[in-house]
C-alpha cells in the first residue's frame, strides 16, 4: 500500500520543560557575524508506523467507526473520547449535510510533557483517518486530553471534512488541484476549488470548537481554538481573489486565505441562515464531480446570490487596534491582574481606537468584553464586532494597569458590511444546536 506523509501540523502550545525521550533533538550554535550569536534548537517528537508498533497498548474501545487504543489505566478516558468523537462527527454531518465517509483511528500516547511540535508518518488506510492524542502523565482526565491537544477538535474536524470532499465516489466529489509526477515540470490542473474545500473544512472545525468550547477554555491557554482567528478582516482584505486561490499559490498567502475562506462560510451562515451551508452540500449530490466554477454556480443558484460579488463587497471595520491573545506569561511580565482577554500591543493614530475624543485605547490595555460578550481571543473579538454590525459603536470593557476595569466606546463606522439584526456566528450556531 502506498505510503504518504501526513504532517499533523506544527503547533506551539506554549509548553515548557523537557520533552519526551523519544523526541528528536538537534541544536546548533555558531557565530554568524562579529558581535552576534546565532542559536537554533529543534526539538520535535516523531512518530511513524514502526515506532507505533513497538508501543504497548492495553486495549482498544470501539464505538461504531471510531476506534481508540489506550495504554494501561486509560480505558475510561478512551471510552469517553470514542463516544465524544463519534458524536462530534455526527454533529458535523447534521449541521453541514456532508456524509463523512472516513472512520477514525485514535492512539492515546502518554508522555511526561506534551511536545511543542511533532511529525507523524503513517501508512494511509483509505477508510480511516489516523490521529494520535497526547496524554500528559498526571493530567489524564478526558477533559484534560481534549484541552491540551490543539489539533483536536478543530483541526481533526477540518481534515475529516476535506478528505471526505475529495476522496469520495461520485456524486458530489470536489476536484482538487493536481500536479504531474515531476515537481515544477509536470502539468498542473487548477480546478480552483480550494476556497470551498478549505472553507467548508474550516467551518466544520469551527462547529467542533463551539461544541467543545467549555472543555477547551478550561485547559487551553487563552482559549485558543486551534483554528483561524481573523476570518472577517481577512475576507475584507482578500475579497473575490479568494476564488482564484489554488493549491500551488504562494505559501505567504495561506494564512490570510485560510482565514478568509472561514469568513466566507461564516458569512453564508449569517446571511442565508444556519441551513445555508447544508443546502449547498445537498446540492453537490446532484452532480458527479465539481470544479471551482461548478461550485460558484451551485452556491449562486442554491442561495439566489452572487457569491463572488458578496465576497468582493464585504467590509469589516478597521479599529486601529493591534492585539495578541493574553497569556499567563504576558500577564505576569506586564504585572496585569487579569486572567484572560485580548492584549493591545499598539494603537494606530487617527483611528477609531485612538484619541481622547474617541475610544482612547492605550498600549497594554486588555479587552475583556465587547458589549456583553466575553473576549478571550482574537476570534471572539471578530465575532463580537460582526455581531454588532447593526450598531455604529460598541462598548468595550477593558482592564488597564493602575486603573482597573473601565468601559470605552469604540466607533465602528458605516459600511456595506452592516446588516440589521445580525447575530454572531457563535450565537446562532449555539441557538441552532438547541433547536
Residue 211 lies in a domain: no
Which one of 297, 313, 329 terminates a domain?
A: 313
- Distance between CA atoms of 230 and 18, rounded to whole angstroms? 33
Complete DSSP assignment for 26-77? EEEEEEEETTEEEEEEEEEEEEEHHHHHHS---EEEEETTEEEEE-TT-HHH
Same domain for 299 and 325?
no
Task: Summarize pLDDT for 388-404 with one digit per residue, the tens.
Answer: 877 888 999 999 998 99
Residue 166 lies in a domain: no
- Distance between CA atoms of 388 and 371, rounded to whole angstroms? 9
Global pTM?
A: 0.85
Residue 426 lies in a domain: no
Same domain for 142 and 24?
yes
Cβ atoms of residues 296 and 217 within 8 Å = no
Cβ atoms of residues 265 and 199 within 8 Å = yes
Same domain for 133 and 37?
yes
Same domain for 246 and 292?
yes
Per-residue HEC secondary structure of 236-272 comes to HHHHHHHHHCCCCCCHHHHHHHHHHHHHHHHHHHHHH
Residue 422 lies in a domain: no
Residue 88 lies in a domain: yes
Residue 284 lies in a domain: yes
Instruction: Output the CA–CA distances (angstroms, integers) from residue 104 to 11, 69, 132, 174, 250, in the order listed.
Output: 21, 11, 10, 21, 32
255 vs 37 pLDDT, higher one: 255
Residue 181 lies in a domain: no
- Phi, psi for residue 210 in degrees, rounded to 5: -60, -40
Residue 409 lies in a domain: yes
Residue 22 has pLDDT above 60, yes or no: no
Cβ atoms of residues 144 and 174 within 8 Å = no
**Band of residue 384 on the pLDDT scale cut at 50, 70, 90:** very high
**Band of residue 119 on the pLDDT scale cut at 50, 70, 90:** confident
Number of structural domains (the chain) is: 3
* Range scoring the smallest mean pLDDT among 79-83, 214-218, 383-387, 411-415: 411-415
The x, y and z cell numbers of residue 380, run together, are 471572539
Same domain for 338 and 270?
no
Confidence (pLDDT) at 146: 92
Burial 56-84 (b: 16+ CB within 10 A, else e): ebeebbebebbbbbbbeebbebbebbbbb
Query: Among residues 238, 420, 412, which one has the least CA distance to residue 317?
Result: 412
Confidence (pLDDT) at 256: 96
274 vs 218 pLDDT, higher one: 274
154-164 average pLDDT score: 93
Percent of the chain clearing pLDDT 70 (strictly above): 82
The sign one gets for the Cα dihedral 305, 309, 312, 313 is: negative
Confidence (pLDDT) at 223: 55
Same domain for 236 and 309?
yes
Task: Summarize pLDDT for 242-290 with one digit per residue, the tens.
Answer: 999 999 999 999 999 999 999 999 999 999 998 999 999 999 988 889 9
228-235 average pLDDT score: 94
Residue 23 has pLDDT above 70, yes or no: no
Same domain for 16 and 118?
yes
Residue 24 has pLDDT above 70, yes or no: no
Same domain for 375 and 339?
yes
Same domain for 9 and 73?
yes
147 vs 309 pLDDT, higher one: 309
Same domain for 294 and 370?
no
Confidence (pLDDT) at 19: 33
Query: Among residues 323, 324, 313, which one has the least CA distance to residue 236?
Result: 313
Same domain for 274 and 354?
no
Considering the chain, what is the average pLDDT of its residues? 84
* Range scoring the smallest mean pLDDT among 169-173, 252-256, 307-311, 424-428: 424-428
Same domain for 52 and 148?
yes
CATH number of the domain that residue 333 is part of: 2.30.42.10
**Band of residue 18 on the pLDDT scale cut at 50, 70, 90:** very low
Query: Among residues 205, 220, 222, 223, which one has the least CA distance to residue 153?
Result: 205
What is the domain range of residue 273? 188-195+223-313
Amino acid at each position: 500500500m502506498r505510503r504518504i506523509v501526513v504532517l499533523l501540523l506544527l503547533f506551539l502550545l506554549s509548553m515548557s520543560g523537557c520533552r519526551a525521550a523519544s523526541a528528536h533533538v538537534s541544536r546548533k550554535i555558531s557565530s554568524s557575524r562579529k558581535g552576534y550569536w546565532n542559536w537554533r534548537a529543534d526539538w520535535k517528537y516523531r512518530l511513524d508506523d514502526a515506532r507505533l508498533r513497538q508501543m504497548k497498548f492495553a486495549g482498544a474501545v470501539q464505538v461504531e467507526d471510531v476506534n481508540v487504543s489506550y495504554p494501561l489505566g486509560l480505558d475510561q478516558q478512551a471510552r469517553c473520547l470514542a463516544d465524544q468523537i463519534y458524536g462530534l462527527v455526527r454533529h458535523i454531518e447534521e449541521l453541514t449535510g456532508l456524509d463523512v465517509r472516513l472512520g477514525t483511528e485514535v492512539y492515546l500516547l502518554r508522555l511526561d510533557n506534551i511536545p511543542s511540535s511533532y511529525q507523524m508518518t503513517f501508512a494511509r488506510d483509505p477508510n480511516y483517518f489516523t490521529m494520535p492524542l497526547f496524554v500528559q502523565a498526571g493530567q489524564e482526565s478526558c477533559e484534560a486530553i481534549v484541552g491540551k491537544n490543539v489539533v483536536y477538535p478543530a483541526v481533526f474536524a477540518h481534515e475529516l471534512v476535506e478528505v471526505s470532499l475529495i476522496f469520495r465516489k461520485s456524486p458530489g466529489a470536489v476536484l482538487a488541484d493536481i500536479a504531474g509526477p515531476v515537481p515544477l515540470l509536470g502539468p498542473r490542473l487548477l480546478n480552483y476549488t480550494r476556497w470551498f474545500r478549505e472553507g467548508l473544512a474550516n467551518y466544520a472545525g469551527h462547529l467542533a470548537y463551539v461544541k467543545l468550547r467549555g472543555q477547551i477554555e478550561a485547559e487551553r491557554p487563552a482559549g485558543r481554538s486551534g483554528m483561524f482567528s481573523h476570518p472577517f478582516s481577512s475576507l475584507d482584505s482578500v475579497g473575490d481573489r479568494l476564488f482564484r486561490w489554488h493549491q500551488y499559490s504562494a505559501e505567504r498567502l495561506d494564512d490570510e486565505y485560510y482565514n478568509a475562506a472561514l469568513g466566507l462560510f461564516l458569512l453564508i451562515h449569517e446571511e442565508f441562515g444556519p441551513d445555508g451551508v447544508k443546502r449547498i452540500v445537498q446540492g453537490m449530490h446532484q452532480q458527479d464531480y465539481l470544479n471551482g466554477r461548478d461550485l460558484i454556480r451551485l452556491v449562486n443558484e442554491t442561495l439566489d446570490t452572487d457569491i463572488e460579488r458578496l465576497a468582493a463587497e464585504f467590509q469589516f471595520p478597521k479599529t486601529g487596534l493591534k492585539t495578541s491573545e493574553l497569556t499567563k506569561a504576558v500577564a505576569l511580565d506586564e504585572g496585569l491582574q487579569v486572567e484572560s482577554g485580548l492584549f493591545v500591543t499598539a494603537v494606530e493614530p487617527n483611528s477609531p481606537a485612538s484619541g481622547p475624543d474617541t475610544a482612547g485605547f492605550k498600549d497594554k490595555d486588555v479587552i475583556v468584553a465587547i458589549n456583553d460578550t466575553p473576549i478571550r481571543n482574537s476570534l471572539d473579538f471578530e465575532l463580537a464586532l460582526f455581531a454588532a454590525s447593526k450598531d455604529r459603536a460598541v462598548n468595550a470593557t477593558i482592564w488597564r494597569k493602575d486603573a482597573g476595569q473601565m468601559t470605552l466606546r469604540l466607533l465602528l463606522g458605516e459600511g456595506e458590511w452592516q446588516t440589521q439584526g445580525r447575530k454572531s456566528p457563535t450565537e446562532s450556531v449555539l441557538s441552532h444546536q438547541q433547536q
